[in-house]
Amino acid sequence: MSGSEFVPLSLTPLLIGILSAVACALPGNFLVLRRQALIGDAISHVVLPGIVVAFLLTGVIAAWPMMLGAAGAAVVAVVLIEAIRRLGRIEPGAAMGVVFTTMFAAGVLLLEQTDTSTVHLDVEHALYGNLESLIWLDATGWASLVDPVALAGLPVELPRILVTLAGVSGFIWLFWRPLKLSTFDEGFARTLGIRTGHLGLALVIVAAVAAVAAFDAVGSIIVIAMFICPPAAARMMTNTLEGQVGWSVVFAILSAVLGYVLAGYGPLWLGAHDAVSAAGMIATMSGLILALAARFGPCRSRTGAPVQS
Amino acid sequence: MIELAAREGRRLENDAIGDSPLAVRGLTVSYGQKPAVFSVDMTVQPGAMTAIIGPNGAGKSTLLKAALGIVKPLSGQVTVFGRPLEEQRARIAYVPQRASVDWDFPTRVIDVVLMGLYRELGLLGRLRARHKARALDCLARVGMRDFADRQIGQLSGGQQQRVFLARALAQEADLYLLDEPFAGVDAATEKAIIAVLKALKQAGRTVVVVHHDLATVTDYFDNVFLINTRRVAEGPVIETFTADNLQAAYGGRLATAQVDQLARVLG
């Protein structure tokens, strides 16, 4: 494929897919190790009512109100989960399940009751995102990457997810030691003076920001898959946290690239005419990578691994 | 006159707190309706080994966790070497219960020991060769030098406990608090751990251990603190570790075999 075709049509969706996948996979490593993997699932579901409420309040589909609405909904969900867990004395997984299904359902109802036909906001979009539509029409070829006029026409999702990824990476880099310590041994971390409660909340908020930014671009299917699949697959490749995070980034990128290419061209190769959803294919690839890692990964069977589950 | 005596008493009490590596006053902790620890006073003696003893569910671990700020007490004061806990964190080393962490966590033995250096390294302080050398030295002191690069899930229970102890040694503290370090470990590990703890005492450090094996109390410890939600007794093993006090702490919960065993130990 030539640059004049690839750059405007495929470069930006591919980049946004990769950056979204990595932004979710990075905090996902800690969530999976903390047995909080479902938080990613919860956040990506509660984002829907948040966005709908933001739309109802402002009447426009604009990035900032939507992001704020989604982030607000994520915080409400986290507080609700904690409250239900403590007051109801039930396990965290069940509390999350109750909260995110209820809030997602409320979001669907709200969406049905409001007139959003004129804007691009619907359940399908929420689930699959709209990766293929994030094209860069101002580009004419590779030269456009250094052309300020063409760069001004970049889809706004690209810089947004880039900033998000920078923020997520910065948080994990800065708090690497306390995050690792409090994930492994929370009691010990507290005796060192680490505020594990605040740190845990910060991690969830960072995950929520990543989820919201990625959700906007690629839908909740990728978000859910990327929080869990690359970190879980990475755990079977290595026995160090540094290694796991590294592998999870590799797997996230691999899922995004393979998924995007296969979604666009796979059906053609098979003789069909239409491309399939890139988001769906990226999530499928991450599942496939997890399956392969579970079958062939060097650290898949470990003596210390929990027997149950 | 009465007032003077009261003031005098207060002063003496404050002196005791000032000397004590760990002094707890009126500590009450509750997880639900029922308090796990109720209005407990404890004054740990410096340079000695103290055992916290009591039946299951008596609040031994909770007392330790509350003293360390891991769980939040409902009320009470904790001072460490006469100062508030928050100011003295660098002087405390802690060994949690082995079962409290996930040993499948992706990390190596040496990394766990290096966690003991967190207060020195801070968020971004560079990990230097001397830090690694210190961690390896701590592993050597518990006989685990050769296991430095193992994944922690590959260790036996006793080896895991030694790694935890090595991490506490890396903290280079003045006060060592250990939660059930002898639970479920092999005889060789128990011997190794007690040797390390006795060496710490020789070096003038203070050691407090939540302990469950009544048979070894007189061999291992100088002082004993008996608890059953409330404080039952506190003092030197010879005076305090008596059948009466044990009966008071354990009530009817001491099994016949334990009573027989104790009768032998206590003569």
ipTM value, please give it. 0.89
Residues of A in contact with B124 (CB under 8 A): 174
Q: Do B106 and A235 touch (CB under 8 A)?
A: yes
So what's the pLDDT on residue B107?
Answer: 95
What are A257-266's pLDDT values in tens digits? 999 999 888 7
Q: Residue A136: give its domain's CATH number.
A: 1.10.3470.10
**Nearest by CB: A187 against B65, B123, B154:** B65
**Nearest by CB: A304 against B111, B121, B152:** B152
Whether B152 has its CB under 8 Å from any CB of chain A: the answer is yes
Whether B205 has its CB under 8 Å from any CB of chain A: the answer is no
* Residue pair A61/A216 in contact by the 8 Å Cβ criterion: no
Q: Do B105 and A238 touch (CB under 8 A)?
A: no
What is the distance in angstroms between the Cα of B156 and the nearest Cα belonging to chain A? 9
**Nearest by CB: B151 against A183, A191, A239:** A239
Q: Does the pLDDT value for residue A268 go beyond 80?
A: no
Mean of pLDDT values over B79-86: 93
Q: Residue B15: give its domain's CATH number.
A: 3.40.50.300
Whether B105 has its CB under 8 Å from any CB of chain A: the answer is yes
In a domain, A242, yes or no: yes
* Residue pair B143/B87 in contact by the 8 Å Cβ criterion: no
So what's the pLDDT on residue A116?
Answer: 58
Choose the most confident range, by mean pLDDT, from A126-140, B223-237, B249-263. Answer: B223-237
Number of compact structural domains in chain B = 1
Of A75 and B69, the one with more pLDDT: B69
Nearest C-alpha in A relative to B168: A188
Nearest C-alpha in A relative to B157: A304
Mean of pLDDT values over A138-159: 84
Nearest C-alpha in B relative to A87: B32
Residue of A189, A185, A226, A234 whose CA lies nearest to A207: A226
What does DSSP say about strands B92-95 and B175-179: parallel, antiparallel, or unpaired? Answer: parallel
Q: Does the pLDDT value for residue A303 go beyond 70?
A: no
Q: Do A190 and B68 touch (CB under 8 A)?
A: yes
Q: How big is chain B by its Cα radius of gyration, in Å?
A: 19
Q: Which of A239, A242, A300, A302 to mutate to test the interface with B (most CBs of B within 10 A)?
A: A239
Nearest C-alpha in A relative to B103: A304
Q: Do A191 and B112 touch (CB under 8 A)?
A: no
Number of compact structural domains in chain A = 1
Choose the most confident range, by mean pLDDT, from A163-167, A207-211, B240-244. Answer: A163-167
What is the distance in angstroms between the Cα of B164 and the nearest Cα belonging to chain A? 10
What is the distance in angstroms between the Cα of B107 and the nearest Cα belonging to chain A? 4
Q: Do B108 and A193 touch (CB under 8 A)?
A: no
Whole-model pTM?
A: 0.87
**Nearest by CB: A190 against B69, B105, B112:** B69
Q: How big is chain A by its Cα radius of gyration, in Å?
A: 20
Q: By residue range, what is the domain housing residue B179? A: 2-266
Would you list which residues of chain A are within 8 Å, Cβ to Cβ, of chain B? Answer: 33, 174-175, 177-178, 180-181, 183-185, 187-188, 190-194, 235, 238-241, 243-244, 299, 302-306
Q: Does the pLDDT value for residue A1 go beyond 60?
A: no
Structure tokens at A200: 């845990």
Under DSSP, the state recorded for A34 is T
3-state secondary structure chain B: CHHHHHHHHHHHHHHHHHHCCEEEEEEEEECCCCEEEEEEEEEECCCCEEEEECCCCCCHHHHHHHHCCCCCCCEEEEEECCEEHHHHHHHEEEECCHHHCCCCCCCEHHHHHHHHHHHHHCCCCCCCHHHHHHHHHHHHHCCCHHHCCCEHHHCCHHHHHHHHHHHHHHCCCCEEEEECCCCCCCHHHHHHHHHHHHHHHHCCCEEEEECCCHHHHHHHCCEEEEEECEEEEEEEHHHHCCHHHHHHHHHHHCCHHHHHHHHHHHC
Flag the least confident range among A68-77, B18-27, B113-122.
A68-77
Q: By residue range, what is the domain housing residue A105? A: 3-296
pLDDT band at B26 (very low <50, low <70, confident <90, very high): very high
Residues of B in contact with A244 (CB under 8 A): 106
Structure tokens at A247: 């592998």
So what's the pLDDT on residue B5?
Answer: 45
In a domain, A185, yes or no: yes
How many contacts does A have with B, using Cβ atoms within 8 A?
88
Residues of B in contact with A243 (CB under 8 A): 106
What are A160-175's pLDDT values in tens digits? 899 999 999 999 999 9
Q: Do A184 and B89 touch (CB under 8 A)?
A: no
What are B37-77's pLDDT values in tens digits? 999 999 999 999 999 999 988 999 999 999 999 999 999 99
Nearest C-alpha in B relative to A171: B123
Q: Do A185 and B68 touch (CB under 8 A)?
A: no
What is the distance in angstroms between the Cα of A32 and the nearest Cα belonging to chain B? 11
What are B179-227's pLDDT values in tens digits? 999 998 999 999 999 999 999 999 999 999 999 899 999 999 999 999 9
- B residues 164-183 lying closer than 8 A (beta carbon) to A: 167
Q: Do A305 and B153 touch (CB under 8 A)?
A: yes
Nearest C-alpha in A relative to B126: A177
